[in-house]
Amino acid sequence: MSTETNTRPLIIKRKKVSGGDGHHGGAWKVAYADFVTAMMAFFMMMWLLNATTEQQRKGIADYFSPTIPITRISGGGDGSFGGESVFSETTAAQNGTGATSLRPTEGRQAMGAQGTDHRAEREEMTLRSIEDALMSGLGDASLSDLMDRHVQIRLTDEGLLIEVFAREGTPLFDPATGGPEPVLQEIARIMAILFATVENHVAVAAHVAAEPVVVAQTRVWDRSLDHAQAMRVLLVGGGLDAARLMRVTGHADRSPVDRDAISVRNNRIVVTLLREF
């Protein structure tokens, strides 16, 4: 074998590896993330535009440009100035009507807020205080016990609802004469005293238990009306202005609170101190 054959030259091929050609790099991920974020913001904006009213959108726009003197709704608040600004229109917010309970700004209305109704808040606190005073029996322990046994109070959308109900052995009205018993007279007296501290109107309603079917002629309507009128007389006699009574109604046995229609618990008087705001 010849020497030339054994000494052939070695050929080495070297491949050059590139670190980031074309789409194999990482820059596209940043661009894609920006695109997805922009699309998400776009669809969220479209959803908000569809879910809000024109006034609400206007309120949002005013919120982000409170110092631009474009409309008369961009400034003001419920403070000592009543919505008036001490600055001029060229340096600060426009003079608005403010956010008072009587004159909420259009901007607050556009944002779904009609202004903080301080009158309603004060009335709520007043009704709560009357509830506490009534259940405490004006500080008298014996009267407080009387209230616990015969009175239930709850605050409703209509007002402060005071329910006075009879108990077994302690009726509100004399079964023989139909006149109010001392227990009801005392409760009505306390109500009249507390009602004199406010100006809210009053509604009186009377309910009675159903009569047995053996009764030849039912008088549930007459009895409930008589009871309502008797309660009205007690309140007016205790000092309540008669002009504040908005309605006096009898509901017979149509709205029992006990499943047993003839239960004594269904004999009750409901007095409502009506909301004004």
pLDDT, one tens digit per residue, over 224-247 is 999 999 999 999 999 999 999 999
Most confident of 30-39, 88-97, 137-146, 265-274: 265-274
The predicted model gives 154-179 an average pLDDT of 94
> 146 burial class (0-12, 13-18, 19+ CB within 10 angstroms)?
middle
Report which of 247, 209, 255 is spatially closest to residue 231, judged by C-alpha positions: 247
Query: Given 3.40.1350.10, 3.30.1330.60, 1.20.120.1760, 3.40.640.10, which CATH number is that of 119-274?
Result: 3.30.1330.60
Q: Which residues lie closer than 8 Å to 269 by C-beta, 6 or more apart?
A: 163, 164, 165, 172, 184, 204, 205, 206, 207, 227, 228, 231
Give, for 161, the enclosing helix (H) or strand (E): strand 159-165
Q: Point out the least confidently predicted range of 4-13, 39-48, 55-64, 182-191.
A: 4-13
- At 17 the pLDDT is 58
- For tokens 């922009």, the residue is 38
pLDDT grade for 132, boundaries at 50, 70 and 90 = very high
For the segment 255-276, the average pLDDT, to the nearest whole number, is: 94
Lowest mean pLDDT among 56-65, 182-191, 267-276: 56-65
pLDDT of 30 reads: 85
pLDDT at 22: 53
Higher pLDDT, 75 or 130: 130
Name the pLDDT band for 65 (thresholds 50, 70, 90): low
> Does 79 have pLDDT greater than 60?
no
User: What whole-number distance in Å separates Cα of residue 168 and Cα of residue 228?
Assistant: 21
The answer to pTM > 0.95 is no
Would you say residue 106 has pLDDT above 60?
A: no
For residue 82, pLDDT over 90 is answered with no
Instruction: Domain ranges for the chain, please list them.
Output: 27-110, 119-274
